[in-house]
Amino acid sequence: MGTKSLFKNHQGQVGIGTLIIFIAMVLVAAVAAAVLIQTSGVLQQKAANTGTEAIEEVSGNLIVQSITGTRDDSSTTNLTSYIITLKVASGAGRIDLGQMIITAKDKDSTTNLVHGTTADGTNFTTSEIRDADNSYTDSTYVINSGDLVEVTINATAAGIPTAPREDVSFTLTPEAGTPVRLDLTTPNSFGINTVVSLFPVEV
């Protein structure tokens, strides 16, 4: 009787297993690549938004040129209103004063004021002094580089009238940009003046 030999193709089995592992690795790599691409897209969008916001914060600065206090006559003890003259910092973008909030504070109270048509206990008003490009209108209170406006605060209605030698502070917070805060002390005496300069301080 002859001897029969049986042969098995072990190389073929190893090749199939390697192919399966290779395909699995390709699929895992494809999934990982898709996740990385999606993540990089989200991060790019967030970085772009953050950059835009940062530019607005840096370029959206207001500059207070002067602050004066007024009273009805020379016999009135307290200042009854404040006038803040504002302009936009060089290179800054457009600033909507209609969205600005002013926080006024004295030793007794703190008041938050928003833009309105009448200066009262909750509102301040603005008026243009210089506006070459007509960006500021009766309904659009937008200023940009070169513009100059006056902000009027009713000190009596807002509960922040000040006598001589008293402290008062103003914080102007625009919609975008850095808030501007000024801490002031009224002069030792108002004398006979009905208009008193608070900032810059007269020497």
Quick: pLDDT tens for 60-89: 588 999 999 999 999 999 999 999 999 998
Per-residue pLDDT of 116-164, as tens digits, reads: 999 999 999 999 999 989 999 989 999 998 899 999 999 999 999 999 9
In the prediction, which pLDDT does 151 show? 98
Other CB atoms within 10 A of residue 190 CB: 19
- The C-alpha R_g of the chain, in whole angstroms, comes to 34
In total, the chain counts a number of residues equal to 203
Higher local confidence (pLDDT), 5 or 179: 179
- As given in the structure block, the two tokens for residue 181 are 């805060």
Q: Are the beta carbons of 189 and 164 closer than 8 angstroms?
A: yes
Whether residue 57 has pLDDT greater than 50: no
Whether residue 113 has pLDDT greater than 50: yes
Higher local confidence (pLDDT), 52 or 170: 170
- As given in the structure block, the two tokens for residue 194 are 């009905």
In the prediction, which pLDDT does 52 show? 46
- As given in the structure block, the two tokens for residue 78 are 């307290």
The pTM assigned to this predicted structure is 0.71
In the prediction, which pLDDT does 29 show? 87
In the prediction, which pLDDT does 14 show? 59
